[in-house]
Structures are given as structure tokens and as C-alpha cells.
Amino acid sequence: MTDRKPMIAVLTGAGISTESGIPDFRGPNGVWTRDPAKEKLFTLQNYLADPEVRKASWLARKDNPAWAAEPNAAHLALVELERAGFSVRIITQNIDGLHQKAGSTPRKVLELHGNMFTVRCVSCREESTMREAIERVEAGEPDPACQQCGGILKAGTIMFGESLNAATLDSAARIAMAAEIFWAVGTSLTVEPAASLCEVAVRSGATLTIVNADPTPYDHLAAHRVPDQIGEALPQMVRELTAL
């Protein structure tokens, strides 16, 4: 007999943070559903070409609800799973840092799309903090430039039209291949290559559970599909696992 616990990989999307007051993008009340034009703010080509898009982006960053958001029951449930002795790896599409804020071990959280708390220059790659850049915006610079070379600054996040970091994506694939249990939580599974991690995991022998209110393109691979509210579903799933 053995008490070895299975390795669990969790792919999280915007839906896990909506109960923390951060709206998702494609849901019924999503940012882009309510205002499709806002998708331009997340497209690299538009951002680089149009100063007005950059000005609107800085205002959106300044007012992002993630600055004041607190982890919810779903984030905390994953912390409990880790503390119960399970090998947990979180692959997140989110940029809000709530997994780390909840108490998940930072090195076990892989941020596919970067995070909103850093800024980098697209020309010289100089990095600084988002807080510093926002302070410049609040002081009257609507489109703050790099203080090293004068280049365009952008958040340390992956925008549409920008490739994911190859090393980060490779790490995510390795986690998916090693997992025995793979949970996709609060993600529409429509953005590649992140969504295909579900298939990578299943082909490597993992059991896939999808926790999402709406159907996804990967439902046919799932052993379980949970449409319940994430803040209720994930704690229950963790309780069931830790009770074994």
C-alpha cells in the first residue's frame, strides 16, 4: 500500500477570479461582451501604432479592479490542496496574481500571460514596476515613455499578436504531461496554445475535469464536466480529494 498522492495540474482562466470582482472577457457580462471595442486595447499592433490606444490602456490599468481584489474560495481551495500534501502545479492565464496572494507557492504558479505588476520597454527591454508607471500617469503623463531610451512601455503581459514565452510554454506542456489529474477551471478553452494543454494532459494519461459554466471545445475529452459556480465547485472537489 502507498499513500502517494497524485500530481494535479490546474489550468485557470478569468472565470476563477470573477468572484473576486474581476470581470472576465467573453462571458455574458465580460469586458469584451459589453464593449467589443476594448479588445483593441489588448492587441499589440493597435497598441504600438496608436497613442490614443495606449492612453486608454494606461487608464484601464490604473483602474483595474485587480489592484484591490482579494482571493476567493476557489483560489484558497487550491492552497488547501497544496497544504494537504498534493503535488499541485497551477498554470494560469490570469495576470492578477491572486493565486500567489492566496498562498500558493509562487514557484508552483506558472503565469502563461505574464502579470500586470511589471512594465517593460518594447525597444530596450528595460523592466520596471507597474506602480511606478501608474504614478507617472497620475502625475500627468498619459502615455509614459521608457526613461532609459524613450521607447514605448507596455505591461509585462502577453497581448494578442504577441507570442507566448517559449520557455514558459514548454514548462506548461511538461506539467500537463506529468499530471495525473488535470483541472481546467474558469477558462473558455478557446485561446491557443493554452487550451490544447487539456489534450496534452489527456494523451499523457491524465483525467480531465472542466469547471466552466459554458461548453468548451474540449468537453469531449473530459471525464467530468462541472458547470457549477467555481467558488463552490472547487472547494468541494478539493474536499473530495483530501478525504480519500
Residues designated as active site? 113
> For residue 119, what is its C-alpha cell?
512594465
103: left (phi over 0), alpha (psi -120 to 50) or beta: left
d(CA 153, CA 172): 27
d(CA 186, CA 212): 5
* CA 53-16-26 angle, 5° bins: 45
**The residue to which cell 494537504 is assigned:** 84
Check whether the bond before 193 is cis (ω within 30° of 0). yes
